């Protein structure tokens, strides 16, 4: 019995204790970091709201959807620091939360500062197309906010997207 589910259909898995994630094609929508045309550098602001404050290392960005939070509907920064983090596997209600209300935020972009970073990922190019492996060399982010402009880089469906972010230049 097919229940009307045809080949190539996209399904969403939701369990009773699970935070809803974008599992279209078993992946997650996130900025296309394999397209570095959109990598930008922004100087620090002295007037940024408290939900846009960074720590050194990796910062994730997403929209707070909590209707009672003062950052509701705003693009918030989720400071992650120096670490290895797979946004597809590791984003959950204890790791990617609004800095104000501490409720889960679906990450959609990333930024870096005062660190060295690289990524390894598997990107789904489109329906019926085999996923493709992507990775980067180590890149340095100085004392400014380095982020991906979503309009220039676009969005992609990632099946895996692991960041490695360290303080000091890695030995090659």
Task: Say what the pTM is.
Answer: 0.84
pLDDT at 128: 87
Contact between residue 114 and residue 142 where contact means Cβ atoms under 8 Å apart? yes
Residue 17's SS3 state is coil
Domain ranges of the chain: 28-41+52-166
pLDDT of residue 23: 43
Q: Is 96 exposed, middle or buried (0-12, 13-18, 19+ CB in 10 A)?
A: buried
Q: What residues contact 18, with CB distance under 8 A and at least 6 apart?
A: none
**Could you read off the pLDDT tens digit of each residue along the chain, which spans 172 residues?**
445 555 555 555 544 444 444 444 478 999 999 999 999 999 999 999 999 999 999 999 999 999 999 999 999 999 999 999 999 999 999 999 999 999 999 999 999 999 999 999 999 988 889 999 999 999 999 999 999 999 999 999 999 999 999 999 998 7
Helices (H), the chain: 87-90, 150-153
The pLDDT of residue 126 is 84
Check: CB of residue 29 under 8 Å from CB of residue 86: no
d(CA 86, CA 28): 11
């Amino acid at each position: 019995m097919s229940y009307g589910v045809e080949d190539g259909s996209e399904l969403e898995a939701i369990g009773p204790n699970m935070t809803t994630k974008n599992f279209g094609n078993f992946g997650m929508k996130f900025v296309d970091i394999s397209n570095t045309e959109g990598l930008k550098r922004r100087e620090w602001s002295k007037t940024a709201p408290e939900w846009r404050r960074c720590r050194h290392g990796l910062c994730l960005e997403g929209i707070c959807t909590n209707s009672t939070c003062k950052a509701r509907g705003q693009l918030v920064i989720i400071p992650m620091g120096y670490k290895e983090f797979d946004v597809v596997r590791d984003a959950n209600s204890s790791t990617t939360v609004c800095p104000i209300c501490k409720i889960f935020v679906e990450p959609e972009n990333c930024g870096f500062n005062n660190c060295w970073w690289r990524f390894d990922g598997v990107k789904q190019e489109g329906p019926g197309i085999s996923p493709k492996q992507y990775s980067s060399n180590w890149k340095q982010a100085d004392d400014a906010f380095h982020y991906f402009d979503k309009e220039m880089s676009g969005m992609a469906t990632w099946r895996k997207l692991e960041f490695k972010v360290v303080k000091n230049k890695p030995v090659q």
